[in-house]
Amino acid sequence: MPVNAATPAQPADGLPVPQRHLAALTVALGITMTILDSGIANVALPSIAHQLHAQAADSVWVVNGYQLPLVMILLAVASLGDLIGYRRVYKVGLAVFTLASLACALSSTLPALVAARMVQGIGAAGLMGVSTALLRTIYPNHLLGRGIAINAVVVSVSAAARPTVASAILSVGSWEWLFAINVPIGVGALLLALRVLPRSERREADFDWRSALFSAAMFGLLFTAVDGLGRNAPPLHAGAELAGALVAAVLLVRRELRQPAPLLPLDLLRIPMFRLSIGTSTASFAAQMLCFVALPFYFQDGLGLSEVSTGLLMTPWPLTLGVVAPFAGRLADRIPAGLLGGIGMGLCCAGLALLAWLPEHPTAFDISWRMMLAGGGFGLFQTPNNRAILGSAPRNRSGGASGMLATARLTGQTAGAAVVSILLHHFHTAGTHWALLVAAGCAATAAVVSSRRVGLNSEPAG
């Protein structure tokens, strides 16, 4: 296929400025929308249920309808990016996400809204699955850590800002605007993508549809089982779903072991640096989600604070991360990821443990400096870790590495949210204390696993 000025070929080592900055902006806009939309509707669920004449319990599928297809097809879409090009997958994902956002805003019934959200989740998988792989084509190798740092800031700040953004939109408009706002942003990002995103090398192979089906079944059943446990679903239902997920996992692994470039990247998991980095990423995001879900309950139910005050007290984490992550990105190009990650998650563990043992009547300062310590440690860890994941994979497997990175994040976040739900169900307000202790334990595990990478080669095997 010929390459013209509007669709630049992948350069030997990143894009030139200003094209590099515009391409990075395109990726940032897409990721911001996907992260925001994974939780932005939570605040409006009561209003949505009332206006659409639906039961409150049924309205939860406005959230699950987005997450379920995203988790199910993420690895498949990432593998597809290796085959047909990351740029193409990202453009299609962006178009699907934008059109689905418009459909969400125009929905007049709950089934229509849930269906549109499911299509939106499919588009989000296209964006998340190849976003990190695109960074490898956008930035020169010596600036890759800096590019990943910017992406890490976008992900973390977007996740932390979801309640604030939702409240701001709902203060001036109805719930439909939570989705309609994506349309102009998505159109702008798509126009930029058409002009500035580079083409990438493609791998000559057929898409493995059977593995994609096994992967979808495994992650879909696992997601519904974990979500059901968090919502106190009947144990028999959750057990059957977990059993189904296990069967699908066995079938998937047996098939993937025979593939030269498997959809579930078992070939990459054989690389010690990649394997340990994925493990520490999963544990770290579980710790972050445990904290982010538990603390609002503590602030509002335990301390009697308002939603606005809660949002302000949650802000020091993403703000500190935003300051530390670019600095960590520069260090990641020179200092081993295992060392930076171990120190970072050690600091995060200390901050979480101190949050679990707050004074009986804490001041805003008591809470804020602990949040800054945890957020700063997380920022010091995340960028070097993401760089290690991407850098330890061969370039033609960047899609698989990007998909695994996103899957590790979603797996950790889903597990963390489910654990908080279980603890709150059994211990009520005191469950927030135990959730923070579990979060500290996850951070400590991440620090130990990260430290095991010291001395490992971070370059790809081939």
Residue 216 falls inside a structural domain: yes
Least confident of 4-8, 215-219, 365-369, 422-426: 4-8
Q: Are residues 275 and 401 in the same domain?
A: yes
Residue 263 falls inside a structural domain: no
Residue 118 falls inside a structural domain: yes
CA atoms within 13 A on the CB side of 458: 23
Q: How many domains does the chain have?
A: 3
- Answer whether residue 373 shows pLDDT above 90: yes
278, 280, 270, 275: which is closest to 448 by C-alpha? Answer: 280
Instruction: Residue 319: give its domain's CATH number.
Output: 1.20.1250.20
- List Cα–Cα distances, 64 to 224, 440, 454, in angstroms: 9, 27, 39
Q: What is the pLDDT of residue 56?
A: 65
What would the mean pLDDT of 279-295 be, rounded to a whole number? 91
Q: Are residues 279 and 225 in the same domain?
A: no
Q: Which two tokens stand for residue 92?
A: 């299609």
Q: Are residues 17 and 147 in the same domain?
A: yes
Residue 15 falls inside a structural domain: yes
Q: Are residues 400 and 333 in the same domain?
A: yes
Least confident of 100-104, 108-112, 165-169, 382-386: 165-169
- Answer whether residue 289 shows pLDDT above 50: yes
- Answer whether residue 2 shows pLDDT above 70: no
Q: Which two tokens stand for residue 275?
A: 């394997």
Say if residues 140 and 16 touch (Cβ distance below 8 Å).
Answer: no
Residue 195 falls inside a structural domain: yes
401/261: higher pLDDT:
401
Buried b (16+ CB within 10 A) or exposed e, 257-285: eeeebbbbbebbeebebbbbbbbbbbbbb
- Answer whether residue 103 shows pLDDT above 50: yes
Q: What is the pTM of this model?
A: 0.79
Say if residues 335 and 350 touch (Cβ distance below 8 Å).
Answer: no
307/334: higher pLDDT:
334
Binned at pLDDT 50, 70 and 90, residue 461 comes out as very low
Q: What is the pLDDT of residue 202?
A: 72
Q: What is the pLDDT of residue 399?
A: 83
Query: Which of 240, 258, 276 represents a domain boundary (last residue)?
Result: 258
Q: Are residues 145 and 276 in the same domain?
A: no
Q: Are residues 325 and 291 in the same domain?
A: yes
Q: Are residues 272 and 369 in the same domain?
A: yes
- Answer whether residue 258 shows pLDDT above 60: yes
What would the mean pLDDT of 430-459 be, rounded to a whole number? 88
- Answer whether residue 288 shows pLDDT above 50: yes
Query: Which of 182, 202, 222 represents a domain boundary (last residue)?
Result: 202
What is the residue-averaged pLDDT of the chain?
86
pLDDT tens per residue, range 338-363: 999 999 999 999 999 999 999 989 99
Residue numbers of the domain that contains 224: 209-258
pLDDT tens per residue, range 147-204: 887 887 888 778 777 777 887 788 788 889 999 999 999 999 999 999 999 887 776 6
pLDDT tens per residue, range 27-59: 999 999 998 888 787 767 777 888 888 876 677
- List Cα–Cα distances, 425 to 97, 234, 276, 420, in angstroms: 35, 14, 33, 8
Q: Are residues 219 and 292 in the same domain?
A: no
Strand, coil or helix: what is 321?
A: helix
Q: Are residues 130 and 250 in the same domain?
A: no
Q: What is the pLDDT of residue 223?
A: 85
Residue 1 falls inside a structural domain: no
Q: Are residues 74 and 114 in the same domain?
A: yes
Q: Are residues 188 and 220 in the same domain?
A: no
Q: Are residues 281 and 319 in the same domain?
A: yes
- Answer whether residue 287 shows pLDDT above 80: yes
Q: What is the pLDDT of residue 449?
A: 94
292, 283, 62: which is closest to 157 by C-alpha? Answer: 292
- Answer whether residue 4 shows pLDDT above 50: no
Q: What is the pLDDT of residue 462?
A: 45
- Answer whether residue 10 shows pLDDT above 50: no
Q: What is the pLDDT of residue 5?
A: 40
| Percent of the chain whose pLDDT exceeds 70 | 94
Residue 422 falls inside a structural domain: yes
pLDDT tens per residue, range 389-415: 988 888 878 888 888 988 898 888 888
pLDDT tens per residue, range 374-391: 999 999 998 889 888 988
Q: What is the pLDDT of residue 161?
A: 75
Binned at pLDDT 50, 70 and 90, residue 307 comes out as low
